[in-house]
């Protein structure tokens, strides 16, 4: 536990962080990558361009300062952070590098206001948090190593199958290059994919949800080709260049967006490529559970809708499963169950009880709409489970 003086000083800086937190974290990342360019291999640099990662870190630092006396309040956030760190193979040495640059960023942004007392207090507070995270992450690494097919850090995988699942989503089936078993994972988890792209200044790392299940002898990731501005560096490389027989490196499976044990009905609500972790959950439920399951798949149209036929084939084999599709811009040949947006009326018409566990994933506006609808139906917030693709935010 940090000293009483440190706690007092850190809590006194909370108003300052509310104003300058994002400036501090932007300065921190600039220093970090200038001095340690090899860390660009670990971070998703697109999140730096968009500003989402500095903003997420600023929010995390603010939350830590505000709750330094009671870190249990941050248990969920700490779980998310340690899962993400272990997927990226973060080491204790990296914490030392981060701490040095974070303290310097505070000095630069706050100037003379960053007194020795403030810097010393934040140094102690940071080390306290770092030790906590390092300990949790070491436990995760050890559990991963002990599990069937387990390992620490990254491992080489070979692409054994490449399959187009929609006009914008392609699946890659991966096997360990050393022909060992695939690692154990929970439905809904993700892996960090590290690829070397010709002529790129560094390797690129992205997290992709595992879209298959443990009954398969491969790991499957299903990647949406990002064609925006800027276009997705890794997704476009995988779609256009990666071929069967190529190798890529994967971190250990990680993530806390997983099915919780329940006897209640389970509703899976997918928006676009958010279907990937939910497809993994759906396949797990097909093989291992008897819950009533409603799988709601929302997409623009049939051309971009992945896994539609496969999910319906599974529902045909098990009466407890039901799949419905909702397209907001269906083509002339599409035959979705519904057109437009998901509504409470659609939900109520397709599930025996609204007292269910809800898992949803997709673009942030989509998830906001789903969450608001479920809360309006008086579904307890503890029964709502969702995942952000990228740095966590608020709905």
Write down the H helix ranges in 36-90: 45-50, 52-66, 75-87
Q: How many Å is the Cα radius of gyration of the chain?
A: 22
The residue with tokens 């949800």 is 209
270: tokens are: 């997918």
Interatomic CA distance for residues 51 and 69, integer angstroms: 29
296 and 360 Cβ atoms separated by less than 8 Å: no
User: Of 22, 137, 357, 387, which is the active-site residue?
Assistant: 137
For residue 237, cis peptide bond before it (omega within 30 degrees of 0): no
| Structure letter (DSSP) for residue 3 | -
Distances (CA, A) of 97 to 33, 84, 126, 283, 287: 11, 18, 12, 41, 45
Interatomic CA distance for residues 26 and 53, integer angstroms: 9
324 and 338 Cβ atoms separated by less than 8 Å: yes
Classify residue 76 as exposed, middle or buried by CB count within 10 Å of its CB (0-12, 13-18, 19+).
exposed
Known catalytic residue at 126: no
170 and 238 Cβ atoms separated by less than 8 Å: yes
Interatomic CA distance for residues 362 and 386, integer angstroms: 9
Across the strands, what pairs with 359? 268, 385
Interatomic CA distance for residues 37 and 79, integer angstroms: 27
Known catalytic residue at 137: yes
Across the strands, what pairs with 224? 169
Interatomic CA distance for residues 182 and 229, integer angstroms: 35
What amino acid positions are annotated as catalytic residues? 95, 137
């Amino acid at each position: 536990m940090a000293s009483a003086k440190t706690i007092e000083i850190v809590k006194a800086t909370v108003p300052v962080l509310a104003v300058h937190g994002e400036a501090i974290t932007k300065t921190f990342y600039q220093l970090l990558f200038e001095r340690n360019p090899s860390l660009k291999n670990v971070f998703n640099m697109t999140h730096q361009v968009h500003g989402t990662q500095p903003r997420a870190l600023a929010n995390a630092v603010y939350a830590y300062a505000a709750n330094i006396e009671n870190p249990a309040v941050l248990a969920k956030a700490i779980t998310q952070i340690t899962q993400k760190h272990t997927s990226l193979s973060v080491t204790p040495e990296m914490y030392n590098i981060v701490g040095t640059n974070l303290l310097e960023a505070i000095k630069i942004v706050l100037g003379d206001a960053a007194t020795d007392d403030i810097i010393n207090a934040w140094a102690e507070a940071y080390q306290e948090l770092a030790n906590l995270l390092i300990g949790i992450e070491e436990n995760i690494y050890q559990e991963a190593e002990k599990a069937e097919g387990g390992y620490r850090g990254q491992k080489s995988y070979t692409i054994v199958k490449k399959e187009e699942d929609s006009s914008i989503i392609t699946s890659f089936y991966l096997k360990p290059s050393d022909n060992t078993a695939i690692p154990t994972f929970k439905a809904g988890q993700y892996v960090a994919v590290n690829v070397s792209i010709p002529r790129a200044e560094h390797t690129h790392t992205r997290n992709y949800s595992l879209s298959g299940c443990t009954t398969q002898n491969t790991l499957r990731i299903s990647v949406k080709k990002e064609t925006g501005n800027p276009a997705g560096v890794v997704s476009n490389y995988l779609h256009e260049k990666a071929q069967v027989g190529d190798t890529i490196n994967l971190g250990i499976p990680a993530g806390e967006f997983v099915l919780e044990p329940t006897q209640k009905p389970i509703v899976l609500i997918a928006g676009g490529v958010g279907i990937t972790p939910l497809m993994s959950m759906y396949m797990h439920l097909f093989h291992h559970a008897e819950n009533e399951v409603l799988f709601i798949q929302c997409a623009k149209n049939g051309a971009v809708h992945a896994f539609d036929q496969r999910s319906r084939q599974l529902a045909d084999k098990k009466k407890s499963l039901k799949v419905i599709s909702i397209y907001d811009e269906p083509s002339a040949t599409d035959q979705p169950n519904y057109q437009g947006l998901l509504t409470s009326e659609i939900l109520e018409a397709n599930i025996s009880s609204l007292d269910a566990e809800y898992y949803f994933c997709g673009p942030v506006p989509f998830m906001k709409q789903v969450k608001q609808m479920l809360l309006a139906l008086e579904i307890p917030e503890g029964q709502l489970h969702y995942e952000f693709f990228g740095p966590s935010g608020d709905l």
